[in-house]
Amino acid sequence: MSQDIEKYRRWIREREHERSRSIYYLGKAIIQELGEEKGTTLIVRQIEEMGHDLGIETRKANKSQGLDNSFKNYSRGPDVNPYGFAWVGGTTKSTSDEEVVEFSYCPIAEGFKKLGKEAVKIGELFCNHIDDADIQGYNPDYECRRESSLNLNGLCRLHFRKKQ
């Protein structure tokens, strides 16, 4: 791998670690201010709103390129996430209405892990809700179930599929 690619990968990972840091400190303050139950509820609501908005933006971008609102166009790989090579893993199953993605390294999860146990707990709120909210913002006929956690189970497994 060229030095430029590795330099870019490190830069992306550092930015994603900073995203984790931002989510953690905002979440921590919300929980401290509102308490565990109300704080957690607010954090989850805002993560879902953010994810939903990201999905809507993906749908709009695809539409502007003449692409339909299909599952295939949601998971177009580098077209959707051109810096995804900073993660380790990828698609393990793909059909027209289903995709399973597994990661053994995620810079966002690594960022939470570096910040400690409390950050991992807040990170789990983010990771448990962002992908489902994103795909439902893109197309409410689809869902994402997070079947395992990188920081808790050693593997992040996301199962995207058409709702049944």
Could you report the per-residue pLDDT of 54-66, keeping only the tens digit for each? 999 999 998 998 9
pLDDT the model gives residue 75: 74
CB-CB neighbours of 73 under 10 Å: 19
Cα 150 to Cα 81, 110, 147: the distances in Å are 20, 9, 10
pLDDT for the residue 71: 82
- Say what the pLDDT of residue 80 is: 57
End-to-end CA gap in the chain: 42
- pLDDT tens for residues 87-106? 999 889 988 889 999 999 99
- Average pLDDT across the chain, whole number: 92
CA distance 125 to 9: 26
Q: How confident is the model at residue 1 (pLDDT cuts 50, 70, 90)?
A: low
List C-alpha distances in Å: 105 to 89, 92, 108.
Answer: 7, 15, 9
pLDDT number for residue 5: 86
pLDDT in tens, 119-133: 999 999 999 999 999
Domains of the chain by start residue, with CATH = 3-162 (3.30.1380.20)
Question: 65-92: per-residue pLDDT in tens?
Answer: 899 888 888 876 555 566 778 899 988 9
Query: What's the pLDDT at 74?
Result: 85
- Percent with pLDDT over 90 in the chain: 78
